[in-house]
Structure 1
Amino acid sequence: MFAVLKTGGKQYRVQAGDVLRVERLAADAGEKIQFNDILMLGGDSPVIGAPLVAGAAVQAEVIDQIKGDKVIHFVKRRRKHSSQRTKGHRQKLTLVRVTDILASGADASGVKAAIGSGSVSGASMAAAAPAVAGEVSGTRPANLLTEARGGKADDLKKISGVGPKLEGLLHQNGVFHFDQIAAWTESEIAYMDDQLSFKGRIARDNWLEQAATLAADKE
């Protein structure tokens, strides 16, 4: 059996024994984690999610927290010889080994969800610690979800300041509905600001008021 999982905005086809390098997860070396965003299960009886396969998961063991190869970014502007810049970057990654693929019963496995900048599973988010202590401000919202209720998300782009990219980030972080945003506290807003990398955007564009109005219009 193999599975197609989603984490860090990327998709991976995996089977037991595979070793993956994924975007940094909140887990220590030797810890067992569980990826709950499963898009497909393959084998004798393939199952395709809509968009996720309910109850399915991929369990893995964290081998180490590593950094990727250095990427050099060099900028030089024409006719401005004094304007040039070289920047190096090494992406933070987590090295994991796949141990098991669950076709069902993931909710009752008791294994910590794989949580990171791009990997969100709402069922276990409240109990999961941030990737690095002190780096994330605020409090993780308690109303985040694994998937949209009824399989249909609200059109979050109706909120002024939310485009396709931000809507995608909100979905990755477990936000699918207007009422979720409308219920955030100041501490939860600070947390989501960090996750979306747009400091102050939520308060500046009055997301909570807009979301409350849009949620009321749906009723």
Structure 2
Amino acid sequence: MTHPKNISGLVSFWDFQEPAGQPRQAIGSFPASLREGAAPVERAAGGIFGDYCAQLSRGQYFFLPHAECGELRLRESLTVVAWIQRHRKPEIECEAVAGMWNETDRQRQYALFLDLRIHGGADNVCGHLSSSGGPTPNHRWCMDAAIGGTRIPYFDWHCVAFTYDGSEARTYLDGAFHPRDSFNPFPYPGGIFQGTADFTVGAVHRQGSMGNWFVGKIGGLAIYRRSLTSEEISSLIVDPS
């Protein structure tokens, strides 16, 4: 297994070792400190890159205000990788893992989602992109996303990722690229909108408030300024046992 810090192009990597009430500190070229949102986020034993991980419940998230997002404001290419354990929640809705995505104010940029529920994306890894910040023309929502074709099980650790190289987006589950006609890879030559969204983990701002909660554990999060290769993505797989 390759540690995320040893792959070139790293912007920020968080291992979520800190206890509730403390900022979560990144390493990388942009060592940002994530703040807790509406409520403290507890840490749980049994992490991926250390003894602990973050335990996110409904209504909990991390954020970085847009004014402090710095190198996370990516426009031409990127990779988002997260090591997560997905848990069930009472409602059926998409689950935001991490990115800069404000639907309320039409400031969509990029975000890694699960269970997006468009284009048959239920229970799959999804990489959402917007070149305009608003909805896709002739649609109520943004419909532009790479969507895999393999369901993500609950209560086990998985590595989920999406890449964008300026021309197309791809999603990966546990290091594997699962092709899906028209959606994985997803052609998208428009680039990424330069908006004013905050960077958030575990939720996004939509319909006037925070939501699209990710419920479960997150053991690591890495953002790169380039599209990682399939070989690099597969090298990031961790066996937590």
TM-score normalised by length of structure 2:
0.30
Answer 1 or 2: which has greater strand percent: 2
TM-score normalised by length of structure 1:
0.32
Structure of higher CA gyration radius = 1
Answer 1 or 2: which has greater helix percent: 1
